[in-house]
Chains A and B, each alone.
Chain A
Amino acid sequence: MATHLIKLEFLKFKNHKTILLFLGMYIVALSLPIFIGGDSEITSAANQYTMDYFLGFPNIWKWYGYYFSWITFFFLGFITLTTVSSEFKNKTLRQSIIIGLTRTDYFIAKLSQSKILSFLSIILFSIIAIFIGIKNSTYATFFENLPDLTILTKGFLLCMAYCGFALLVALIFRNNSLSVFFYVCYIFFIESIIRNSLNYYLNTDILNYLPMNVISNLFPMPVYNIIENTTGTSLMSIDISENGLLALAFTYILVFFGLAYLVLIKRDI
């Protein structure tokens, strides 16, 4: 069943110029860090961090992971938003259901699409990170520096979370411009405003566990680690173990896809 639905998604979008453009830009954007690096030194408080320090093993996973999280937020999110909203615009989802595709089929197709995109993204992420790491490490060997399972899991969850959130937003708004606007605004502004204002008024930090803050903490800004190591002060906005973070991210993914399914099942099309 899933294979049949994946083939259907492929048939639908293999000629879609915007999606192909986003996919191409995603790959190019992920590959760009290959072309940076060299012997230059980065000025820092401790004046001890060279480019090799950031782009070599093992720090490349953190630095490139952070870069990967931003690029993925934009491109995987936009690809998902476009695949859904274009079907509403052209009324092709409506027609597909009329001729026999069930709403559950459509959901499974989108879930499978998200899994495949996430899986391929993680493969690309690993290959590029290893390539940059080898290029910037004098001692590195390939087998010593394969990514560990936690990094791969984090990357996969990050991709799935952005795909799931984008799917939910697109199914609610249906219109491409509105969906993109809300998707970007929620992550950049809306959640931050809710989090900071309510935390302030309620004198708590519980709202730090809102979804996008949790997802972005899968690959936090690596400079936090440097400052933490230097000053001994924690800058992370959420205080949770690695496994707890993964579990929470997984829960949010279930919520995104679960709500998306409910919206799809309950609403008129």
Chain B
Amino acid sequence: MNVLNIQNLSKNYGKVQALNKLNLQINAGQVYGILGPNGSGKTTTLAIILGILKKTSGSFEWFEGKYKNPNKKIGAILETPNFYPYKNADQNLEIVKHIKGSNEKNFDEYLELVDLKDRRKSDFKQYSLGMKQRLAIAATLIGNPEVIIFDEPTNGLDPQGIAEVRKILHNVASSGKTILLASHILDEVEKICDHLAIIKKGKLLGAGSVNDILSNDITLEIGAINMENLKHFLNNFSGISDIKAFNNFYRCSLDDTIKIEDFSKTAFENGIIITHLNSRKQRLEEAFLEITNNA
């Protein structure tokens, strides 16, 4: 089922165009990342599809129009965890439950998942930022939503908080629910998502499965006794591209049809004595920089 269909969505703030004809389709069960630098339009997109901001033009549809009030089928954290500061975890979750119209008898399961069971009776204002974020994650699960949206879920957290929240996100993501994760942290998206969209300055630069976005080419890091000869060799080797020089090695892309051992053998036959060789698949960071820099 198509969970979210965004067509030509635009948002202007006066002369500033925050979103420019964005198109996006998300299917049930996908763990979908929206990736983009700060100010790229990620939160604006989420705020529009959640009914907080008014769109300037375009359209979007949740669940193929199946529900009158689709937001009740969505759990979401947008930017910051927002709760009544003078209420404790149980009281705040009770309000969420009341709005959702769900029928949980208690919130033990959710509070256990986010490790807040012991602090459930403390007022929200007494929580650390990490605890607030964890409570927000617990709130997203109330009413068994079909889609869960996380917007920069690790923003402002210390390393321990980031690790805790990521662990919870992994658990939620493995539950089979559709998840939409907006982040500028590439590592976060790469580890959790199976699909992603890259946006910059409100424009969609690329979308698809993570494997589609990442190039099949091999990234090589290679060093030799004679770096000048190596450079000459790389420039003339068919199947090597995108050569970048570092302190004591070159980084380049190797066509995925060429085997490493063949490359290495040819180098040796050309008098290149390799002192350092590291091969790996392209990282999301590299793909992201490639896509955004070319835009």
Contact = CB atoms under 8 A, between A and B. Distances in A.
B99 A94 contact: no
A100 B84 contact: no
A98 interface: yes
B138 to A, nearest CB: 13
A100 B82 contact: no
A92 interface: yes
Most buried by A among B52, B72, B80, B91: B52
Interface in B77-93: 78, 80, 82-87, 91
Interface in A126-161: none
Interface string B52-70: 1110000000000000010
Given A94-B52, A268-B53, A269-B52, A99 B100 contact: yes
B84 A92 contact: yes
A99 B75 contact: yes
Nearest to A94: B52
A92 B80 CA distance: 11
A125 to B, nearest CB: 30
Contacts of B100: 99-100
A8 B82 contact: no
A100 B52 contact: no
A8 B98 contact: yes
B74 interface: yes
A99 B96 contact: yes
Given A100-B99, A268-B53, A94 B74 contact: no
B158 to A, nearest CB: 23
Interface of B: 47, 50-54, 69, 71-72, 74-76, 78, 80, 82-87, 91, 94-96, 98-101, 139
The 6 closest A-B pairs by CB, nearest first: A100-B72, A95-B82, A91-B82, A100-B71, A268-B53, A98-B50
Given A8-B95, A94-B82, A97-B50, 19 more contacts: A4-B98, A11-B91, A11-B94, A12-B95, A15-B84, A15-B86, A15-B87, A90-B83, A90-B85, A95-B82, A96-B95, A97-B52, A99-B96, A99-B100, A100-B71, A100-B72, A100-B100, A101-B99, A268-B53
12 contacts: A4-B98, A8-B99, A11-B95, A16-B86, A17-B86, A90-B83, A91-B80, A97-B50, A98-B71, A98-B78, A266-B54, A269-B52
